[in-house]
Amino acid sequence: MMTDRGKVAALLEEAAETHHRVYRITDGVDDDWASWYADWLLRLSELPTMLGSAPVRSELVYMLVQLDKDHTAVRAVEPWPHFYATRLIEHFGDGANKELQS
């Protein structure tokens, strides 16, 4: 099973839009945004199905924070949802499962 990067990126965009609506009073500002995203992605989206299993919440929070730092550090031209999606799939998805089976 191949995980579709575009679909994961779309989920990340949906999470961002939803988060911004929920935190509208602060214009989307939330120092603990990664915890909110992880909870939403695991409980209210298709991400676990797309990845083939549900990541551990704390590891997903860690990955989201690290990806934010990485995206900023490399000054990526690639939009953040696609940057994150690629790496989340590599870490949690099909690629990770194949490594475990080898």
Nearest to 51 by CA among 84, 97, 13: 97
Q: What is the pLDDT of residue 99?
A: 40
Give pTM, 2 decimals: 0.86
Domain that holds residue 61: 5-101
Tell me how far apart the alpha carbons of residues 24 and 68 are, in angstroms, rounded to a whole number.
21
Residue 24 token pair: 């509208």
Number of structural domains (the chain) is: 1
Residue 56 Cα distances to 11, 12, 39, 62, 80, angstroms:
18, 17, 10, 10, 22
pLDDT value at 26 more than 70: yes
Q: What percent of the chain has pLDDT over 70?
A: 88
Contact 5, 92 (CB under 8 A): no
Q: What is the pLDDT of residue 32?
A: 95
The residue with greater pLDDT, 29 or 58, is 58
pLDDT tens figures, 34-66: 999 999 999 999 999 999 999 999 999 999 999
